[in-house]
């Protein structure tokens, strides 16, 4: 059956780390995902779905990440992806790099989550409290990276009982292989994967098959 209808007031579009660091030339991590986000028109698709979601009255929630300039929030023997953040001096608080990409910047009445310092949008924030306060039961995910923060947030949202939709052409990755593995193998386990245009069709009241979508 899948999700056959979207109630905008019970739905939140969550834009994860659509910040200059990833999405704009000059960002430290932009070169790492530039090829993928250009090939799949990630920013254009995210902008389009954001516009339609706003028109339909969907709750808009922006989930950025940033750190103190000395990275005091991260242990000294950090490893993995956060090591790359520290070594690249990425996501420093209060810089242009941590600002939102212009076409997906928050409006004054939209929620911006504070306190994200790791991979999952729920882990060090009040995201769940806000979603419950707003009466949200369906979360729609877009952003960066497909197999890191988006997937981490997706898994937690699933386990917390939310209906989860992931927009497969609104997520960035460091390679086509990483994107395909996330979208094809992992996303159907924890969400209803669909394209941004399919989600827009749902918002318009059209029928969409949402059980399992192949990578496109």
How far is 30 from 36, CA to CA, in rounded Å?
10
Q: Is residue 214 pLDDT above 70, yes or no?
A: no
Angle of helix 42-56 relative to helix 196-203, nearest 10 degrees?
10
Largest CA distance in the chain: 51
Q: Is residue 119 pLDDT above 50, yes or no?
A: yes
Nearest to 61 by CA among 98, 13, 109: 13
How far is 57 from 94, CA to CA, in rounded Å?
30
How far is 143 from 124, CA to CA, in rounded Å?
18
pTM: predicted TM-score of the whole model, two decimal places: 0.94
Structural domain containing residue 116: 8-19+40-66+102-203
> How far separated are the first and last CA of the chain, in Å rounded?
21
User: Is 3 among the domain residues?
Assistant: no
Q: Is residue 213 pLDDT above 60, yes or no?
A: no
User: Is 77 among the domain residues?
Assistant: no
User: Is 85 among the domain residues?
Assistant: no
Q: Which two tokens stand for residue 197?
A: 């245009």
Q: Is residue 42 pLDDT above 90, yes or no?
A: yes
Q: Is residue 98 pLDDT above 60, yes or no?
A: yes
In this structure, are strands 111-112 and 59-63 parallel, antiparallel, or unpaired? parallel
Name the E strands within the chain. Answer: 11-16, 59-63, 111-112, 138-143, 163-171, 192-194
Q: Which two tokens stand for residue 113?
A: 């989550």
User: Is 182 among the domain residues?
Assistant: yes
Count of domains observed in the chain = 1
Q: What is the pLDDT of residues 180-189, one digit of tens each?
A: 999 999 999 9
User: Is 158 among the domain residues?
Assistant: yes
Element spanning 20, H or E: helix 20-23
Supply the CATH number for residue 177's domain. Answer: 3.40.50.850
User: Is 29 among the domain residues?
Assistant: no
Q: Are 179 and 171 in contact (CB under 8 A)?
A: yes
How far is 172 from 37, CA to CA, in rounded Å?
6
Tokens 């490893």 belong to 79
């Amino acid at each position: 059956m899948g999700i056959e209808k979207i109630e905008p007031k019970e739905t939140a579009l969550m834009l994860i780390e659509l910040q200059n660091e990833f999405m704009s030339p000059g960002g430290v991590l932009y070169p790492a995902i530039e090829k993928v986000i250009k090939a799949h028109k990630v920013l254009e698709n995210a902008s389009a779905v954001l516009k339609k979601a706003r028109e339909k009255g969907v709750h808009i929630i922006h989930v950025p990440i940033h750190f103190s300039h000395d990275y005091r929030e991260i242990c000294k023997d950090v490893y993995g992806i956060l090591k790359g953040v520290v070594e690249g001096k990425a996501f420093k608080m209060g810089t242009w790099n941590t600002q939102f990409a212009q076409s997906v910047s928050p409006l004054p009445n939209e929620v911006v989550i504070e306190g994200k310092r790791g991979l999952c949008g729920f882990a060090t924030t009040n995201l769940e409290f806000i979603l419950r306060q707003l009466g949200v039961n369906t979360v729609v995910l877009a952003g960066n990276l497909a197999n890191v923060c988006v997937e981490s947030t997706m898994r937690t949202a699933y386990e917390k009982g939310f209906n989860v939709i992931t927009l497969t052409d609104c997520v960035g990755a460091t390679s086509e292989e990483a994107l395909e593995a996330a979208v094809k193998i992992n996303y159907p386990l924890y969400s209803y994967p669909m394209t941004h245009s399919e989600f827009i069709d749902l918002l318009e009241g059209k029928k969409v098959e949402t059980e399992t979508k192949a990578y496109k």
